[in-house]
């Protein structure tokens, strides 16, 4: 059986959930659902990143102990996944015992393999990014502040620290990228990373003594692990690391795909595979970096007060509509702009007037003229066959796009079929056949119902609730909704009673 392991980044609990978190989680959910429908055994992981100075400071600000604080705020991210209808199989918190064990075991391995040594770190650190920066990467402001490329302010740090011998892994990383050309996607990110590694890697400080909110370094009570080493390890602690012989680990690790925003690709594509190779574990199969959303053309930031609240989007436009918009509007990997106008345009033209209208027209004609049962068909005309063939050919093309994370192209390919079905219904005009040729009318309505069945099957990963509603209206049994049923071998059965049709994709109603 094919397996598929997909992960979101684990989210920093100091933030309130925003569109960025929602976007990654939805994209991973769509992929996880698609792979399940394709028959793969799937493991979908999300979670929260709870250690480090940034979280410690937020807890202090809230007047709470760090653990009490993280217990409370981690729940917000669990709740968001539920609100987004994400089908994650597990949710990991870095404060859990299973994770701590995995991190310490990984650390021991790195020490045993000679990749960690004790030294002294003096350099720049940005708490907001929890990242070290070289001086030549920074810009000095008029007020002598040192600013990282991400915009985060850096502070000077000098302390005893354990180092990971990252500098020794450059050539092996380049060799790995070369042998695995699809490891970093999209290709623009791959080029950036290759350039970065070619420019020479410095050893990486992987422990801190100035803070205590973290996972203790084994046998070294003064040090806690660098929060990114801790955080990245979540991807294997959830599979039971260090037990790499377990079925779960063996089943899923080789198929691992990490999805994240472009800002944190370096951690995933450079540090993480180096840590893993040093510990004798194969790197994941793929890391995919998506772009960033702006709001009405403006960078999203707390100080501008334009952070997009996913709960508000759900309330204003509907969950499935929002899921559809985010994955349809821009190619996955590119930056995108959220605007009310474009959201409403997609909701009305693609959904209400597109698939919604096609389904509603067809299903009400069937309800009115075919006694509310799947009509029987007679011989197919050339036009019927043309449309049916297009429908049965679609799943293969759709899957190809999905497998390369081209969500927008996968959706485009469905909408091409919707347009073809719209042209067909207009030219065949089943409403007027009612008086002239009932047999022909039934055939046309059968063809349309079949096409809507295929469309609904393919829409399931993106809009699970709406696609389910459509499949229910076609009385498709729940065990006949996987992609293997999206062919001409599993057609609708004539005479099957259908429930009374109701609209599935409402037009936009301005919020009161
Ligand atoms: N804790 C780290 C990840 C550790 S994974 C081992 C982290 N957390 S985060 O909460 O700050 O980031 C969550 C994700 O949200 C990142 O992938 C980031 O790229 C994404 N986004 C944050 N703002 C975004 C937009 N405006 N648009 C799209 N995604 C954005 O980083």
15 lines ligand 1 (CB under 6 A): yes
What would the two tokens of residue 394 be?
């679609």
Report the 10 Å Cβ neighbour count for 453.
Answer: 23
Closest ligand 1 atom to Cα of 293: 27
3-state secondary structure of 38: coil
11 lines ligand 1 (CB under 6 A): yes
How confident is the prediction for the chain on average, in pLDDT?
96
Place 14 in a pLDDT band, splitting at 50, 70 and 90. Answer: confident
Place 252 in a pLDDT band, splitting at 50, 70 and 90. Answer: very high
Do residues 417 and 455 make contact, with C-beta atoms less than 8 angstroms apart? yes
Closest ligand 1 atom to Cα of 12: 10
Considering only CA atoms, which residue is closest to atom 17 of ligand 1?
261
Closest ligand 1 atom to Cα of 268: 6
- Ligand 1 centre to CA of 44 (Å) is 17
* φ/ψ of residue 91, rounded to 5: -140, 120
3-state secondary structure of 12: strand
Do residues 127 and 60 make contact, with C-beta atoms less than 8 angstroms apart? no
- Give the pLDDT of residue 138: 94
Average pLDDT of the residues in 370-392: 98
- Ligand 1 centre to CA of 278 (Å) is 26
Considering only CA atoms, which residue is closest to atom 21 of ligand 1?
20
- Give the pLDDT of residue 16: 86
259 lines ligand 1 (CB under 6 A): no
- Ligand 1 centre to CA of 327 (Å) is 17
Considering only CA atoms, which residue is closest to atom 8 of ligand 1?
11
Q: Kindly list the distances between the CA atom of residue 153 and the CA atoms of 20, 126, 127, 145, 369, in Å, as whole numbers in the listed order.
A: 21, 6, 8, 7, 68
Considering only CA atoms, which residue is closest to atom 19 of ligand 1?
261
**Confidence check: pLDDT of 368 > 80:** yes
3-state secondary structure of 398: helix
Sheet of 256-261: strand order equals: 90-93, 41-49, 3-12, 256-261, 286-290, 184-185
Pairing state between β 298-299 and 293-295: antiparallel
Pairing state between β 286-290 and 293-295: unpaired
DSSP string, 299-340: E--TTTT-PPPHHHHHHHH-HHHHHHHHHHSS-BTB-EEE-H
Place 302 in a pLDDT band, splitting at 50, 70 and 90. Answer: confident
Q: What pTM, to 2 d.p., does this model score? A: 0.96
How far, in Å, CA of 455 to CA of 431, rounded? 22
231 lines ligand 1 (CB under 6 A): yes
23 lines ligand 1 (CB under 6 A): yes
Q: What's the pLDDT tens digit per position in 321-341?
A: 999 999 999 999 999 999 999
**Confidence check: pLDDT of 512 > 90:** no
Q: How many residues does the chain have?
A: 512
How far, in Å, CA of 224 to CA of 214, rounded? 5
How far, in Å, CA of 211 to CA of 209, rounded? 5
- Ligand 1 centre to CA of 507 (Å) is 32
Q: Report the residue among 20, 131, 292 best suited for mutation to probe ligand 1: largest number of ligand atoms under 8 A from its CB.
A: 20
DSSP string, 413-443: HHHHHHHHHHHHHHHH-HHHHHHH-HHHHHH
What would the two tokens of residue 300 be?
């999203």
- Ligand 1 centre to CA of 488 (Å) is 42
Quote the Cα angle for 227-229-231, to 5°. Answer: 65
Give the distance from CA 91 to its chain's centroid.
14
Q: Report the residue among 7, 9, 10, 99 best suited for mutation to probe ligand 1: largest number of ligand atoms under 8 A from its CB.
A: 9
* φ/ψ of residue 194, rounded to 5: -60, -45
- Give the pLDDT of residue 130: 87
Q: What's the pLDDT tens digit per position in 447-484?
A: 999 999 999 999 999 999 999 999 999 999 999 999 99
Considering only CA atoms, which residue is closest to atom 6 of ligand 1?
232
Closest ligand 1 atom to Cα of 232: 6
Do residues 472 and 452 make contact, with C-beta atoms less than 8 angstroms apart? no
264 lines ligand 1 (CB under 6 A): yes
**Angle, in degrees to the nearest 10, between helices 310-317 and 19-37:** 70
Q: What's the pLDDT tens digit per position in 240-251?
A: 999 999 999 999
Considering only CA atoms, which residue is closest to atom 24 of ligand 1?
20
Q: Report the residue among 264, 284, 306 best suited for mutation to probe ligand 1: largest number of ligand atoms under 8 A from its CB.
A: 264
**Confidence check: pLDDT of 189 > 80:** yes
Considering only CA atoms, which residue is closest to atom 18 of ligand 1?
261
Place 188 in a pLDDT band, splitting at 50, 70 and 90. Answer: very high
**Confidence check: pLDDT of 436 > 90:** yes
How far, in Å, CA of 7 to CA of 28, rounded? 7
DSSP string, 138-207: -EE-TT--EE-TTS-EEEEEEEEEEEE-GGGGHHHHHHHHHH-TTSEESHHHHHHHHHHHHT----EE-E
Q: What's the pLDDT tens digit per position in 66-111?
A: 999 999 999 999 999 999 999 999 999 999 999 999 999 999 999 9
- Give the pLDDT of residue 303: 84
What would the two tokens of residue 508 be?
């936009």
Place 509 in a pLDDT band, splitting at 50, 70 and 90. Answer: confident
């Amino acid at each position: 059986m094919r397996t598929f392991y997909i992960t979101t980044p684990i989210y920093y609990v100091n933030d309130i959930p925003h569109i960025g978190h929602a976007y990654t989680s939805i994209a991973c959910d769509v992929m996880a659902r698609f792979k399940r429908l394709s028959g793969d055994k799937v493991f979908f992981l999300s979670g929260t990143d709870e250690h480090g100075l940034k979280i410690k400071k937020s807890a202090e600000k809230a007047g709470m102990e760090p653990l009490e604080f993280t217990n409370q705020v981690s729940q917000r991210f669990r709740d968001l996944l539920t609100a987004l209808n994400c089908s994650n199989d597990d949710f990991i918190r870095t404060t859990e015992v299973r994770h701590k064990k995995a991190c310490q075991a990984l650390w021991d391995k790195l020490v045993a393999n000679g990749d960690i040594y004790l030294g002294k770190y003096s350099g720049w650190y940005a708490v907001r990014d929890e990242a070290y920066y070289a001086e030549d990467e920074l810009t000095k402001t008029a007020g002598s502040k040192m600013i990282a490329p991400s915009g985060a302010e850096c502070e000077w740090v000098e302390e005893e620290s354990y180092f990971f011998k990252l500098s020794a892994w450059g050539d092996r990383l380049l060799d790995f990228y070369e042998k695995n050309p699809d490891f970093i996607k999209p290709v623009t990110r791959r080029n950036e990373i290759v350039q970065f590694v070619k420019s020479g890697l410095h050893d990486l400080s992987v422990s801190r003594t100035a803070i205590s909110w973290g996972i203790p370094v084994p046998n070294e009570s003064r040090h806690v692990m660098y929060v990114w080493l801790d955080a990245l390890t979540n991807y294997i602690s959830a599979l039971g690391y260090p037990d790499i012989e377990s079925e779960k680990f063996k089943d899923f690790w080789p198929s691992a795909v990490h999805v994240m925003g472009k800002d944190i690709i370096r951690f995933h594509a450079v540090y993480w595979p180096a840590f893993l190779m040093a510990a004798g574990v194969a790197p994941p199969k793929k890391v995919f970096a998506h772009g960033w959303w702006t709001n009405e053309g403006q960078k999203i930031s707390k100080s501008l007060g334009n952070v997009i609240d996913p709960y508000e989007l759900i309330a204003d436009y509907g969950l499935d509509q929002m899921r559809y918009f985010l994955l349809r509007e821009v190619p996955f990997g590119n930056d995108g702009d959220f605007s009310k106008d474009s959201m409403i345009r997609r909701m009305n033209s693609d959904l209400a007037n597109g698939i919604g209208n096609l389904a509603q027209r067809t299903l009400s004609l069937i309800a009115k003229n075919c006694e509310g049962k799947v009509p029987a068909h007679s011989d197919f005309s050339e036009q019927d066959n043309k449309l049916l063939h297009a429908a049965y050919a679609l799943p293969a093309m759709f899957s190809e796009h999905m497998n390369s994370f081209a969500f927008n192209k996968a959706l485009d390919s469905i909408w091409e079929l919707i347009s073809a079905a719209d042209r067909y219904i207009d030219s065949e005009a089943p409403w007027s056949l009612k008086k002239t040729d009932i047999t022909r009318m039934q055939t046309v309505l059968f063809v349309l119902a079949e096409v809507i069945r295929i469309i609904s099957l393919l829409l399931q990963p993106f809009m699970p609730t709406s696609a389910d509603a459509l499949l229910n209206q076609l009385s498709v049994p729940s065990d006949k909704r996987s992609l293997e049923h999206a062919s001409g071998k599993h057609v609708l059965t004539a005479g099957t009673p259908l429930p009374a049709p109701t609209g599935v994709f409402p037009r936009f109603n301005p919020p009161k």
